[in-house]
Amino acid sequence: MATPKVKPVIRLLTCGSVDDGKSTLIGRLLVETDSIPHDTVATARSVRRGGSTIAAGEIDFSLLTDGLEAEREQGITIDVAYRSMTLLNGSRLIIADAPGHEQYTRNMAVAASRSDVALVLLDAARGVRPQTLRHLTICALMGVSRVAIVINKLDMFDYSKEKFEEISAQIAPAVARLNLNEHAIIPVSALVGDNVVFKGENMNWYTGPTLLEYIQNQDLAEDSMTSPHFGIQYISRVDTFRGLAGTLVNGKFNVGDEVVILPSKKRATISKMVTFDGELVTAGHEQTLNIVLEPEVDAARGDVLHLASNAKQPADRFTANIVWLGESDLIHSRSYILISGSTSTPAIVTTIKHKVNIESGEHDSARTLKMNEIGTIEIATDSPIALSNYSDSRETGNFILVDRATLNTVGAGMVVHALRRSENVTEQAYEIDAEKRAAQKGQVGKVLWFTGLSGSGKSTIANEVAKELYALGRHVYVLDGDNLRLGLNKDLGFAKEDRAENVRRVSEVAKLMMDAGLIVIVALVSPFRVDRDQARELFAKGKFIEVWVNTPAELCAQRDPKGLYKKAAAGDLPNMTGIGQEYEAPLSAEVKLDGTLELKVNTEIILEIAK
């Protein structure tokens, strides 16, 4: 049997609540292994945080892992600070010191996705806190099964064995629930140094490893990888050379291997593999290279190469665990950008199955996820994507969700499994298309999407436009928000997630009607810009015309045709748009109507576009 290779790099994540002593602990680990330049250590003897009680001339270990000036001023860790050291067994250790504040959990989650071992720190005086459980849960979801649970500041309790056992018992149910089978619970004093690198004499009752011993004794030899995945990052062209550039993970490629390009499913053979150091016959895990195929089939950034013998079937429906990182809630039916490696595609969260109660581990029903909450979702992508189960591959089973308006990363996802329904649904093409159906009616199919406050005049203008078009012999249909809520959307309320689903359903119906060759008029408050933009993307350029009926809120309230403003004023409609809920005006609507003008004037403006 071959001797397993020692992994050359061990990635260690350190996390815990604020003031539990993470920075001090890691600073001491670095100093006592001589992994910090001596001039940096000298600085840590003279520089002090505000409010520091460390005696003059002593080392403030916590300064050694803080990378931002703001962190020193506030006495907290904001960003993930990285340091490296060499272990006694020759492995290189990269330490990611993650922030403890709850609002910076996103930084910790990202660091966990790339970590082999986690250090979760507890303050003995505070015991197990919600943030401790959140960090353990994220570590488990991110596939970090090797966890050192370090109970710090036992010097405050005279190094009490009873205190250590009390906290160990508190954390045990979460450890068992999360299946952290390769964990250790280590008592330490980061301030004094016991059990960080050296045993010390204050806790002779403890017979387990020191923190350093636990880390460097991990056997992180790579498992056998038989499902290579090569994500194309860009097309490299030099003279007659055309290579597919990217990084290979999860296995090996050999010259002569037959591969499949996904999602197109085209086949080719690897004719050459090139790096800066020359050509390769075999390429391995995490190797960056250029691949030349024969024949030279069409491939683009975001495509993926798999061995033809075990190619991953692309799918467009997945169940996934997700850590929500966005300041705005996760809303099902709203569109995001899903990015995995070099591949990106629009995606919609179709279902929030549950959120995880981090204290009990129970699955609670949820309609949204708030920042730092963890849940399980079902997600649908616009195009098939070759994602693995995260339990099989951390490299090819993860993704992020990006907000389409702000381009901020709002979610970190781990695929549980692809849904079989994605394999059983195939789009059918018919010879009679939308253009032919519209030509039969002597018109051009399109969607006129009226948006504005309640009482702005949307339905009134839509009705008048429909009458005039009908008189001209046009085939037109009005989709009115209130009418749809009496049938198709009667199950929806007026919260953000319900409004998102309302717009999604209406836009899909409008698309079908336009496909039938009709001129479709939508009269819908649709208060959120991102939902209207999502609707627009269903249509070809020029087929979706956003019409903003801009009427002052005061005039809308005076009109109050449905009595809604009166109810809102009485407190009976908390989600009334413009009062209890924001209306986001269009930024680039094709048509802007002045709702104070006569009906005839606004109708004529729309008729010029519609007919």
DSSP H helices in 8-75: 22-32, 38-46, 69-74
pLDDT value of residue 496: 87
Q: Which CATH number fits domain 434-610: 3.30.420.60, 3.40.190.10, 3.30.70.360, 3.40.50.300?
A: 3.40.50.300
| Kind and range of the H or E run holding 429 | none
Helix (H, G, I), strand (E, B) or coil at 214: helix
Backbone angles phi, psi at 413, to 5 degrees: -115, 150
CA distance 234 to 186: 46
CA distance 183 to 344: 36
Mean pLDDT score, 171-189 = 92
Q: Is the preceding omega at residue 263 within 30 degrees of 0, hence cis?
A: yes
| Kind and range of the H or E run holding 234 | strand 229-238
Going from the C-alpha of 545 to that of each of 152, 244, 468, 537, 589, the distances in angstroms are 62, 40, 18, 12, 8
Whether 54 contacts 48, CB under 8 Å: yes
pLDDT value of residue 3: 37
Whether 167 contacts 204, CB under 8 Å: no
CA distance 304 to 290: 13
Angle at 414 between CA 391 and CA 282, to 5 degrees: 60
Mean pLDDT score, 580-586 = 88
pLDDT in tens, 20-74: 888 788 888 888 888 777 777 777 676 665 555 566 557 767 666 655 444 445 5
Candidate ranges 9-13, 114-118, 508-512; pick with highest mean pLDDT: 508-512
Whether 180 contacts 188, CB under 8 Å: no
Candidate ranges 63-67, 113-117, 141-145, 537-541; pick with highest mean pLDDT: 537-541
pLDDT in tens, 116-125: 899 999 999 9
Backbone angles phi, psi at 380, to 5 degrees: -120, 130
pLDDT value of residue 384: 87
pLDDT value of residue 69: 45
Whether 143 contacts 390, CB under 8 Å: yes
The CATH number of 229-310 is 2.40.30.10
Q: HEC states along 30-47?
A: HHHCCCCCHHHHHHHHHC
pLDDT value of residue 2: 38
Q: Which residues of 460-469 are buried (b: 16+ CB within 10 A; e: fewer)?
A: bbbbbbbebb
CA distance 248 to 238: 21
DSSP 99: -
CA distance 5 to 223: 10
pLDDT in tens, 212-268: 999 988 876 554 566 888 989 888 887 677 889 999 988 899 999 999 998 888 899
pLDDT value of residue 417: 92
Candidate ranges 123-132, 461-470, 580-589; pick with highest mean pLDDT: 461-470
Total Cβ atoms within 10 A of residue 590? 14
CA distance 163 to 167: 6
Conformational region of residue 66, where left means phi above 0, alpha means psi within -120 to 50, and beta covers everything else: beta
> How much helix, strand and coil, in percent to the nearest 5, is found in the chain?
25, 30, 45
pLDDT value of residue 396: 84
The length of the chain, given as a count of residues: 611
**Type of residue found at 72:** R
* CATH architecture, domain 9-216: 3-Layer(aba) Sandwich (3.40)
More confident residue, 541 or 89: 541
CA distance 3 to 148: 26
More confident residue, 282 or 73: 282
CA distance 314 to 316: 7
Mean pLDDT score, 452-461 = 94
Mean pLDDT score, 170-195 = 91
Angle at 138 between CA 132 and CA 139, to 5 degrees: 90
pLDDT in tens, 423-445: 677 778 888 999 999 999 999 99
What DSSP string describes 228-292? -EEEEEEEEEETTEEEEEEEEESS-EETT-EEEEETTTEEEEEEEEEETTEEESEE-TTEEEEEE
Mean pLDDT score, 144-151 = 92
* Same fold? 229-310, 434-610: no
Instruction: Report the interhelical angle of 599-610 vs 458-471 (nearest 10°).
Output: 60
Backbone angles phi, psi at 95, to 5 degrees: -105, 125
What DSSP string describes 458-522? HHHHHHHHHHHHHHTT--EEEEEHHHHTTTTTTT--SSHHHHHHHHHHHHHHHHHHHHTT-EEEE
Whether 422 shows a pLDDT value over 70: the answer reads no
**Type of residue found at 308:** A
The CATH number of 315-422 is 2.40.30.10
Whether 164 contacts 154, CB under 8 Å: yes
pLDDT value of residue 224: 52
CA distance 142 to 139: 5
Burial class (CB in 10 A: 0-12, 13-18, 19+), 283: buried
Helix (H, G, I), strand (E, B) or coil at 72: helix
Q: Within 13 Å, how many C-alpha atoms sit on residue 384's CB side?
A: 21
pLDDT in tens, 370-412: 988 999 999 999 888 888 899 888 888 899 999 988 889 999 9
Whether 63 contacts 31, CB under 8 Å: no
Number of H helices and number of E strands within the chain?
15, 29
Going from the C-alpha of 153 to that of each of 25, 114, 186, 409, the distances in angstroms are 10, 28, 12, 36
DSSP H helices in 60-207: 69-74, 105-112, 130-141, 161-177
Domain ranges of the chain: 9-216, 229-310, 315-422, 434-610
* 342's tokens: 């070099």
DSSP 18: T
Closest listed residue to residue 324, CA positions, set 276, 361, 376: 376
What is the set of active-site residues? 526
Average pLDDT of the residues of the chain? 86
* 111's tokens: 């660091």
Beta-bridge partners for 117: 12, 146
More confident residue, 78 or 106: 106
Whether 489 contacts 445, CB under 8 Å: no
- Cα Rg of the chain (Å, integer): 30
Whether 311 shows a pLDDT value over 90: the answer reads no
CA distance 90 to 214: 15
* 507's tokens: 């836009």
Whether 273 contacts 252, CB under 8 Å: no
